[in-house]
Amino acid sequence: MDKSKANPSIKCSVDQCEYHCLNQEYCALDSISVGTHESDPTVQECTDCESFERKKQ
């Protein structure tokens, strides 16, 4: 995967993600999956990027 190719449709500030663009606030994936860990989400903190993978060290 080319992590220098930013997807301008997906903003991201999570540097720890494997798919975070180098030196840019975007994701390198073509699309992401967003989900929730709550049965009745009511605030932003209830949602999750299910495409997140911890950056390999």
| Entry pTM | 0.84
pLDDT digit string (tens) for 2-12?
Answer: 888 999 999 99
SS3 sequence of the chain: CCCCCCEEEEECCCCCECCECCCCCEECCCCCCEEECCCCCCCHHHEEECCCCECCC
Going from N- to C-terminal start, the domains of the chain cover 1-33
What whole-number percentage of the chain has pLDDT above 70? 100
Q: What confidence score (pLDDT) does residue 15 get?
A: 94
